[in-house]
Structures are given as structure tokens and as C-alpha cells.
Amino acid sequence: MDALLALEDGRTFPCRSFTGPGNATGEVVFNTSMTGYQEVLTDPSYSGQMVVMTYPLIGNYGVNPDDIESDRIQVAAFIIKEYQAYPSNFRSTATLADYLTEQGIMGVEGLDTRAITRHIRNAGAMRAAISTDELTPAALVKRATKIPRMAGLNLAKVVTTPDPFYWDNGKPHFFNPDRQPLDKTIWQDRGAKRSVVAFDFGIKFNILRQLDQAGFELVVVPSATTADTIQAMAPDGIFLSNGPGDPEPVGDAIKTIRSLLDYRPIFGICLGHQLLGLALGGTTFKLKFGHRGANQPVKNLRSGKVEITSQNHGFAVDTESLQENDVEITHINLNDNTLEGFRHRKYPIFSVQYHPEASPGPHDARYLFDEFKELMG
């Protein structure tokens, strides 16, 4: 089915929908991963975004119920060069088209994804619209200009869990707040395992799997959970998750984190890293086209080693805004020298911008989960 992709600056790309008729809007971004498209689709950090995959052939290994990072597809649309309708993999249970169609997400193919990627790299990530019923370029461009910009959007409150849950045996087990108060009685393995409260700003399942494998007992709470509630739970550590959107509008979480800085060890990643930076008095800014892929080189300034990392973010913490706040810069991005990690010199606090849990991606940074455990004594 014929479709059209229109960017807010007037550039358009004719294409074909492989998921039937539909419309979609969002910020168009690109991801350079060669595999892991199902994990990309279900990563909550992509909420509000239409993702272009730079690898040309997508769909060749189908989809399955094990490679998901949340309970649903999170992207606004999926943009690829060539769709493979007949997957071949022993783990496959459905086609990519069926998976997208079932959840009402548009997928389009037949575009020059290299041209889109080069355009975004030069002009920056921007708003866009896709349609099968509006094929007039000027009208679709106008539609793209009417959607909200990513800067200023608090999307963490959109993707966060509505209720707290206990993570056990690879699955969430939701609490009934009326029957189970959030206090220190919620821990089932107190003493045998270190207890961790994880703030859900858009948390990926593989983060929870890695924390579980590191030996933690986990309770996940909504993004707006207060400092008083966290202290009533009396955890051994606090984890700040990844998530979508602009960190600055997530004001309640920044205030809560600031209240907990000297309370327990804290580990933040991605959006959690940015919120921690803001809580420490730093500032953030929007990157031109972001870092999205499984091949981002990061230098660990403490060890001198270079790690290849998985990343997905469009904002960054300004390095200079933190350097006078008892903060040690620990990691930098070798492509553009942006801040990728820091730790506090007084408090047991550290964070990284990238995804140490990967999925998809390399495992170079999984040692950070063990460092979090060491911080708790």
C-alpha cells in the first residue's frame, strides 16, 4: 500500500506500508543496530518516536515472546529499507508485520534509509508524519509541524507503571496498594539479598533481569513515588531507570532524587542518569540527532579502557555544569565527547548515560551492576 513520510522541514519520502492503512506521527530518529529490532520496538525510551533502522533487511528472523523489553510496542512507527515477510528462525512465532499490525503500529518500507539518516545527521532529529490516506506532500508536512516537539515533553509519566510491582522469576507481580502498604514489610528476602527500589521512568525488562542476576531483591515503583515512601520501604539501594523524553520536565522525580542523595547508594542509567545530574545541580541539553545503536564507543576514564555500548537517548547532561559539584566525570563518548558517566565524591552515587544491560548490544558494561552491589557494602 502506497504511503508517504513527511518531515517538518519539507523533505518527503514515498514508501509502502507493510502493515496496511494507517497514520502515525512522532519524532523521527535512526538506530544503527544490525539486530535486535524487537527489543528496539519494545524499549519505552522510544515512546513518541518513529524509528529508522539503518541496517537494510529487517524482519528476517521474525518475532517471539521472549525478546521483549516491555509489555507492548513503544515506537510510534517503524521505518525500514526492505521488509522480509518470510522469517527463518527456530525461535520465531510470528512475522514482524503481524506483530506490528496486532498492536496498531505502522510499518513502512521501500525508503532510502541512508538518505533519511544523512538528512537527520545534518538537520537534526525532527517531527514527522506518515500516512496512507494523505499523500499530498504539503498537507502531510503541515500535519508534522502541528505535533508537540520532544523538548519539553514529560513522557516518563506516560510509560511508567501505574502500580508498584515485585520482580520475581522473570515476571512482575503487582501489589494491591490497599492491602499491601509500601513499607519495609514488602521485602521477602530481607537479609538474604540486598533490597533495591527501582524507579520506573520507562524501565526495560533486561535491566530487571540483570539486577536480579546480580542478586538483588527488586521492587519497581512509579516515577512519581515520593521520597517519604522510599524511606518507609527502607531499601538497601535505589535504581533510576532509562526512559523517554526530556528530563527537565520530570520535576517531581528530580525533587525526590535530590531528597535521597545522602540516603542510600544510587545507580542511574539513561534518563535516570540525566535526572540524577539535574538533582545534583547540573543542566541538560538536546543532542542534534542523539545516540541510538549498539556500537557507541565510550571511554572509561578511571580504567582507560574503551567500551562498546548500547545507547538510546536524545538528551545529555552538560559536563561543565557538574564539575564544580563534587562530581567526578568517569565516562565520555568518543564520537562527540559528551558526558557518559559520573560518580559523586562524597555520596555513594554513580550513573551512566548508556545501557549496561544492552539487549540488544555488547556486554562490555555489565560490571556496573556489580559495582552497584559493592556500594552497598
Q: Which residues are catalytic?
A: 270, 355, 357
Three-class SS state of 96:
helix
Q: How many residues does the chain have?
A: 377
Grid coordinates of 357: 544491560
Question: Side chain identity at 376, as an amino acid letter?
Answer: M
With the C-alpha atoms ordered 93, 97, 99, 102, is the resulting torsion angle positive or negative?
Answer: negative
**Cα–Cα distance, 323 to 1 (Å, whole number):** 53
Strand-pair partners of 300 = 331
**Cα–Cα distance, 249 to 18 (Å, whole number):** 36
Nearest to 225 by CA among 264, 182, 194, 195: 182
Q: Cα–chain-centroid distance for residue 228?
A: 27
Nearest to 152 by CA among 223, 248, 224: 248
Strand-pair partners of 327 = 344
Helix (H) or strand (E) holding 297: strand 284-300
Grid coordinates of 186: 514488602
CA dihedral 34, 38, 44, 50 (to 10 degrees): 70
The side-by-side arrangement of strands in the sheet containing 284-300 is: 171-174, 165-168, 216-222, 194-200, 237-240, 266-269, 349-352, 339-344, 327-333, 284-300, 306-317
The alpha-carbon radius of gyration of the chain (Å, integer) is 21
Given a contact cutoff of 8 angstroms between Cβ atoms, the answer to whether 183 and 232 are in contact is yes
Grid coordinates of 173: 507481580
Grid coordinates of 283: 543542566
